[in-house]
DNA sequence: TCATAAGCGAGACGGTACGTCTCGTCTTGGG
DNA sequence: CCCAAGACGAGACGTACCGTCTCGCTTATGA
């Protein structure tokens, strides 16, 4: 617990210890069971020191969660941007279907409850994730594969949004089928495409294209 | 405080008084400032009685919020379903852009934190709202105006999802332009419509399945 | 729980049921665990009815305890009054050394806390007990075996007092030896008998100064 | 409420503040009216801190009462031990005849109800009091003025016992005459002194039988 | 080199909300 | 008219956690 040699450069040590302890606690007992005192006890960092590094509990959690999450879902690169996007989106949502999703939901809840944590969530979770996919969406946009006006920010929010909503409220299924449906809806829209030629059939061929 | 005549049919009286007090408190000071004790003081209902009616604070809030929200946004009916949907979706998201959205976000946070509240959120907020728009989506589906597989549940989640995400995490703008963009993306999809030639990849199915 | 037959002559039935239930509860879980609600549930008598019969919980307990205690310790009658007194006193204190003593202590505590119970304690416990031993002390007094001024009331209080004190505060041993010591001290006094010759101390016969 | 300079040495400050507040409350409204919350409000010490210092309410009261009682009744020292004992005993019982006695009774009741308080009662009230009189009884014993086997503990219990009993149950008079009677009985015994000639009764000298 | 200032662990503290408990009153509805 | 059933207001209870603070020690830097 008390290393001897390099004593003063503690700031970084304490910082790391807190994040590590927080990660451990949140996997073990869930975010709701996390308390500053438990983090302090687990990390060996005193509560006072913790409060010198972060403004509130949710900020710690946001940073810890963001650090852990560094690319849990790989970005494929097959050269077929649309396929890659579909794969990535499906993988991403599927990943948050697991217990990781519950953590994510509780992290978001903490952010909403403690507004001071928002910047931490932004910096340590959202931005890194978005930066990773941004070039991807950019390339897709350049290739004319995305709708006009679609950028990484909007895309992420629309893609994750429905899942977030369901995770938060606990309603709605998160079965693989549902996840695929949500991804499909987000990527291709809720409404039928405006018929290019108004003379087509009422129901149209996309039925085949979309159904699972 | 002590009404005289009809004394025993109090259950309903207490119930209403609590919901009314909760609504008032949540408009005045926000959801985070709500306390069971404050609800008790404001409503004249004792904490013990409150806990006999609801399992936790978030359940009360969910019911109160749901009761208040009964159709704050009107469903237009111009006979042009697509226009109506667009109008409704835009109005809905715009409505949650106001302070009402902050309440909504904190309600969701409370639901995620206290799982016992989820059924209340479901019953008193989500279901009534969804029931209101359901026939609308059904009619649109019958008219072939929605993509196959789109139902009221998925539609609501995808439409509201991005907004919910932004409200919860505090990131992202909620300006009218952004709202319009989110609505547009949700309704029409993130990806550009599939090109006319379907002969792209023979390897995997989702290219065909998904590409509009 | 819901007997049907004899409905009106309830008063006596309810009274008895309450006392019986209270006795049972107090043997099972101790007096501190007794609740009006538990008595009501156990006896099938409603709380409202209970409050019509007794002013407070301690009153019920006092009556129940008194009813149960009817002569648990026998009064010997060997014809040798002093021996009988010694036997009785020792038996009495020994009896209250058991778990019955703890009940007794808690009953007294309840009486001190809820003054309304005192008359019940007096009527249903103290008086019957005292009435039983009174003729005994009277006879002893007539035979000149007790000190002048000693009556049943004072005798009981002095005899039981030390035990009560120890039971209440939890201090002091209640081993057989200690009990015998307390009985001995109470019966024969703390001070050594005044020496036969009154000329011992210059300060005069305290015996006279104090006696009554 | 918020003193500035000497901040951390609060433990003692809080401790004292609680005891002082408790003393005040108990003189003003009686022990039954004491609440942890009232003590907290009066003393400026939070309930949580209070519970870190004492296990229950009765423990606080016991300590506060003991602290206040530090020798309210003086021990005379005339050189005539018997007289001193008589004076002291009478003064002591008389003192507890006042409202102080009611407090004492309720303190004992609290001790019986909350067993965790017993050690506090023992340490802060009983022991100091007993320690004060102990040398006195010892000297009397050495001088052969007390009955064999009488020590400070037994003496205190027998002397106070009857009073305690009457205080607790509310029965029996506590007039000066009665007090004197109780003191007399305790000091000199309930039974008449054994006749000088041991050959009196066939049942053998109970004096010897019982003594020790 | 040594003093100063800062960082730290430990943990007490004030504050506040929690959810439970019990009391004693009250009302309903059935007999 | 009485009663069981039990809802209710009141409010104390003991616990939990937060975020601040003080203490006393350790260590890095600047005079």
Q: What would be the CATH architecture of the domain defined by C69-190? A: Orthogonal Bundle (1.10)
Q: Is the pLDDT of residue C200 over 60?
A: no
Q: Out of A4-13, A37-46, B182-191, C138-147, pick the least confident.
A: A4-13
Q: Which nucleotide is nearest to A3 (CA to C1')?
A: F26
Q: Is the pLDDT of residue B71 over 80?
A: no
Whole-number Å distance between alpha carbons of D53 and D51: 5
Residue D8's pLDDT is 52
Residue D137's pLDDT is 86
Q: Which of C154, C149, C153, C159 is nearest to C85 (CA)?
A: C159
Whole-number Å distance between alpha carbons of A157 and D113: 61
Strand, coil or helix: what is D146?
strand
Residue D38's pLDDT is 95
Closest alpha carbon to C1' of F18, residue: A36
D4-16 pLDDT, tens digit each = 334 455 678 889 9
D92-146 pLDDT, tens digit each = 999 999 989 999 999 999 988 888 899 999 999 999 988 888 888 888 888 888 8
Residue A194's pLDDT is 59
Q: Classify residue A28 as exposed, middle or buried by CB count within 10 Å of its CB (0-12, 13-18, 19+).
A: exposed
Q: Which nucleotide is nearest to D44 (CA to C1')?
A: E14
**Which bases of strand F sit closer than 7 A to a protein CB?**
2-23, 26-28
* Chain C interface test: which of D91, D169, D187, D202 (most C C-beta within 10 Å): D169
D14-34 pLDDT, tens digit each = 899 999 999 999 999 999 999
Residue A197's pLDDT is 44
Residue extents of the structural domains in chain A: 10-53, 69-190
Q: Regarding the domain with residue range B11-53, which homologous superfamily does it belong to in the CATH classification?
A: Homeodomain-like (1.10.10.60)
Q: How many CB atoms lie within 10 A of CB D195?
A: 11
DSSP state of C208: H
In the predicted model, what is the mean pLDDT of residues A53-74? 89
Whole-number Å distance between alpha carbons of C105 and D105: 12
Strand, coil or helix: what is D212?
coil
> Can you give the pTM of this predicted structure?
0.84
A neighbour chains, 3+ CB pairs within 8 Å: B
Rounded distance in angstroms from the CA atom of residue D109 to the C1' atom of nucleotide F12? 18
Q: Is the pLDDT of residue A64 over 50?
A: yes
B148-160 pLDDT, tens digit each = 888 888 888 999 9
Chains A and C are in contact, defined as 3 or more C-beta pairs closer than 8 angstroms: no
pLDDT, chain D, mean: 82
Q: How many CB atoms lie within 10 A of CB B88?
A: 20
Q: Is the pLDDT of residue A154 over 70?
A: yes
Residue D85's pLDDT is 83
Q: Is the pLDDT of residue C2 over 90?
A: no
Of residues B157, B166, B209, nearest to A210 (C-beta): B209
**pLDDT level of residue B10 (50, 70, 90 thresholds):** low
C91-143 pLDDT, tens digit each = 989 999 998 999 999 999 998 888 889 899 999 999 998 888 888 888 888 88
Residue B194's pLDDT is 59
Q: Which nucleotide is nearest to C49 (CA to C1')?
A: F3
Size of interface A-B (CB pairs under 8 A): 236
Q: Does domain B69-189 have CATH number 1.10.357.10?
A: yes
Residue D194's pLDDT is 58
In the predicted model, what is the mean pLDDT of residues C75-97? 85
Residue D206's pLDDT is 38
- The minimum CA-CA distance between C100 and chain D, rounded to whole Å, is 14
A16-34 pLDDT, tens digit each = 999 999 999 999 999 999 9
Q: Do C206 and D83 touch (CB under 8 A)?
A: yes
**pLDDT level of residue A54 (50, 70, 90 thresholds):** very high
Q: Do B111 and A169 touch (CB under 8 A)?
A: yes
Long-range contacts of C95-100 (CB under 8 A, 24+ apart): C96/C160, C96/C163, C96/C167, C97/C163, C97/C174, C97/C176, C97/C179, C100/C72
SS3 sequence, chain A?
Answer: CCCCCCCCCHHHHHHHHHHHHHHHHHHHHCHHHCCHHHHHHHHCCCHHHHHHHCCCHHHHHHHHHHHHHCCCCCCCCCCCHHHHHHHHHHHHHHHCCCHHHHHHHHHHHHHHHCHHHHHHHHHHHHHHHHHHHHHHHHHHHHCCCECCCCCHHHHHHHHHHHHHHHHHHCCCCCCHHHHHHHHHHHHHCCECCCCCCCCCCCCCCHHHHHCC
Q: Is the pLDDT of residue D185 over 50?
A: yes
Torsion on CA atoms B88, B91, B94, B95, rounded to nearest 10:
-110
Rounded distance in angstroms from the CA atom of residue A42 to the C1' atom of nucleotide E8? 16
Q: Regarding the domain with residue range A10-53, which homologous superfamily does it belong to in the CATH classification?
A: Homeodomain-like (1.10.10.60)
In the predicted model, what is the mean pLDDT of residues B112-127? 92
**pLDDT level of residue C84 (50, 70, 90 thresholds):** confident
Question: Is strand F less than 7 A from the beta carbon of D17?
Answer: no
Q: Is the pLDDT of residue C195 over 70?
A: no
Residue D3's pLDDT is 34
Q: Which of D50, D76, D47, D75 is nearest to D63 (CA)?
A: D50
Alpha carbon distance, N-terminus to C-terminus of chain C:
57
Contact partners, residue B111, CB within 8 Å, separation at least 6: A168, A169, A170, B58, B62, B117, B118, B121
Q: Out of C1-15, C161-175, D168-182, pick the least confident.
A: C1-15
**pLDDT level of residue A161 (50, 70, 90 thresholds):** very high
Question: Is strand F less than 7 A from the beta carbon of C47?
Answer: yes
Residues of D in contact with C192 (CB under 8 A): 144-147
* Chain A interface test: which of B171, B205, B209 (most A C-beta within 10 Å): B171
Residues 26-45 of chain B sitting with CB below 7 angstroms of strand F: 44-45
Q: Which of C198, C158, C154, C163 is nearest to C93 (CA)?
A: C163
Angle, CA of D56, D58 and D59, to the nearest 5°: 70
């Amino acid at each position: 617990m008390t290393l001897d040699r390099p004593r003063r450069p503690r700031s970084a040590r304490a910082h790391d210890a807190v994040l590590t302890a927080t990660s451990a606690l949140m996997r073990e007992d869930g975010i709701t069971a996390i308390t500053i005192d438990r983090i302090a006890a687990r990390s060996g960092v005193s509560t006072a020191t913790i409060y010198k590094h972060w403004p509130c509990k949710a900020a710690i959690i946001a940073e810890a969660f963001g650090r852990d999450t560094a690319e849990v879902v790989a970005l494929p690169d097959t050269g077929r941007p649309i396929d890659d996007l579909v794969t990535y989106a499906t993988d991403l949502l599927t990943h948050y279907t697991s217990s990781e999703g519950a953590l994510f939901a509780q992290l978001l809840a903490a952010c909403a409850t403690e507004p001071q944590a928002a910047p931490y969530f932004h910096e340590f979770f959202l931005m890194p994730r978005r930066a990773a996919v941004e070039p991807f969406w950019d390339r897709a946009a350049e290739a004319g594969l995305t709708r006009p006006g679609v950028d990484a920010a909007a895309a992420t929010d629309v893609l994750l949004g429905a899942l977030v909503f369901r995770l938060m409220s606990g309603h709605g299924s998160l079965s693989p089928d549902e996840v695929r449906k949500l991804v499909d809806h987000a990527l291709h829209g809720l409404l039928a495409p405006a018929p290019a030629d108004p003379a087509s059939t009422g129901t149209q061929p996309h039925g085949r294209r979309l159904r699972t």
